[in-house]
Structure 1
Amino acid sequence: MSRTMTGGCQCGRIRYTAQVENDEAYLCHCRMCQKATGGFAAAFVQLPSDSVTWEREPDWYASSPIARRPFCSQCGSPLGFDFIESSGQMDLTLGSFDEPGFFRPVAHAGCESLHESWLDTKDLPRHYSATTDSVASRWKAAGLEVPE
Structure 2
Amino acid sequence: MSIARIYTGGCQCGAVRYRAEGTLDDPHLCHCRMCQKAAGNYFLPLANAARATFRVTRGAPGWFQSSEHVRRGFCRDCGTPLFYDMPKESFINIVLGSLDDPEDVRPHAQSGVESRMFWFSQLARLPETETDAAGPAGRERHIAILESNRQHPDYDTDHWPPEE
Please report how far the alpha carbon of residue 130 of structure 1 lies from its aligned counterpart in structure 2 after TM superposition.
2.2
Aligned partner (choices 82, 86, 89) of residue 87 of structure 1:
89
> Aligned to 1:125, what secondary structure does the other structure show?
coil
Q: Hey, what does 1:117 align to over in structure 2?
A: 119
> Aligned to 2:68, what secondary structure does the other structure show?
coil
Please report how far the alpha carbon of residue 108 of structure 1 lies from its aligned counterpart in structure 2 after TM superposition.
0.8
Cα 1:119/1:28, change in 2 over 3 Å: farther
Please report how far the alpha carbon of residue 22 of structure 1 lies from its aligned counterpart in structure 2 after TM superposition.
5.1
CA distance in structure 2 between the partners assigned to 1:50 and 1:79 by the alignment: 18
Gap regions ≥5 residues in structure 2:
155-164
Q: Hey, what does 2:49 align to over in structure 1?
A: 47
Q: Structure 1 runs of 4+ off > 4 angstroms?
A: 145-148
State the identity %: 35
> Aligned to 1:137, what secondary structure does the other structure show?
helix
Cα 1:119/1:66, change in 2 over 3 Å: farther
CA distance in structure 2 between the partners assigned to 1:16 and 1:124 by the alignment: 35
Cα 1:138/1:91, change in 2 over 3 Å: same
- Verify: 1:137 aligned to 2:140, yes or no: yes
Could you give the per-residue CA deviations for residues 32-80 of structure 1, whole angstroms, max 9, x where no partner exists?
0000001111011112122211012211111122210110010000002
Give the TM-score of the pair, scaled to structure 2. Answer: 0.78
One-letter amino acid of the counterpart of residue 56, structure 2: W
Gap regions ≥5 residues in structure 1:
none
Q: Which stretch of the first structure deviates more once superposed, 125-134 or 62-71? A: 125-134
Please report how far the alpha carbon of residue 101 of structure 1 lies from its aligned counterpart in structure 2 after TM superposition.
0.5
One-letter amino acid of the counterpart of residue 61, structure 2: P
Q: Hey, what does 1:67 align to over in structure 2?
A: 70
One-letter amino acid of the counterpart of residue 64, structure 1: S
Please give the root-mean-square deviation of Cα atoms over the aligned residues, in Å.
2.5
Give the TM-score of the pair, scaled to structure 1. Answer: 0.86
Tell me if structure 1 keeps the 8 A contact 2:131–2:142. no
Cα 1:135/1:51, change in 2 over 3 Å: farther
> Aligned to 1:32, what secondary structure does the other structure show?
helix
